[in-house]
Amino acid sequence: DMHDAFMFESTGLIEVGRHCTTEELNPLFRHPSALTEPSDDVRDAVNSICVDPHDVSLWVSAMSDFLAQPFVYQSGATNVSTTATEALKLGRGVSQDYAHIAISMCRQVGIPARYVNGFMIGEGATHAWIEYYDNGAWMAFDPTNNKAVDDNYIKIAQGRDFNDCSINRGRFCGITQQSIN
């Protein structure tokens, strides 16, 4: 039988207050991925940050301050396959672009970093941020909003970049429309 609609609802329990996760480092998060491969533009951006990357938290904060200056949040300027280098050159993008650039820059100076996808309370849409590895723990930081992650964030998935942890991915056969409310 043909259907006119498919609807589902998901519920769960959210644990807040864990913005620092102690765990062994997976070396996978030290190396570039398809969307975070460094370029001369990324290296130039890294070289403009005058903070010693051995002070990891201070360096990440300075890197985010750097991104806040020339980079503009603009929906529709990029898509899910836009690389960190492309977004940095364009100078605009969305949270996934901020995250990809931040991850690329962190990894360039030897700071392991990973992509996090989830929700930010009050936004009404998915949001992306990063976690960087410092002294045996993953620390959550939002380069789009230039601040440490707090209890207003709901983490759903983590990976090397967007390709590892897209929140909604699927396949339709035939003529159809999709919406998420």
Rounded CA-CA distance 165/37 in Å is: 17
Residue 21: its pLDDT value, please?
Answer: 83
Residue 169: its pLDDT value, please?
Answer: 57
In degrees and rounded to multiples of 5, residue 115 shows phi and psi of -90, 135
| Confidence check: pLDDT of 16 > 80 | no
pLDDT tens, position by position, 68-102: 988 999 999 999 999 999 999 999 999 999 999 99
Tell me what the mean pLDDT of segment 10-28 comes to. 79
Rounded CA-CA distance 17/121 in Å is: 14
pLDDT tens, position by position, 115-167: 999 999 887 789 999 999 999 999 999 999 999 999 999 999 999 999 998 76
Res. 45 pLDDT band, cuts 50 70 90: very high
38 is written with which tokens? 């460094």
| Confidence check: pLDDT of 173 > 90 | no
| Confidence check: pLDDT of 29 > 80 | yes
Round the average pLDDT of the chain to a whole number and report it.
89
Sorted by sequence, the CB contacts under 8 Å of residue 56 that are 6+ apart come out as 111, 132, 133, 134, 135
DSSP line for 15-44: --S--EEE-PPPGGGGS--TTT---HHHHH
| Confidence check: pLDDT of 40 > 80 | yes
Res. 178 pLDDT band, cuts 50 70 90: low
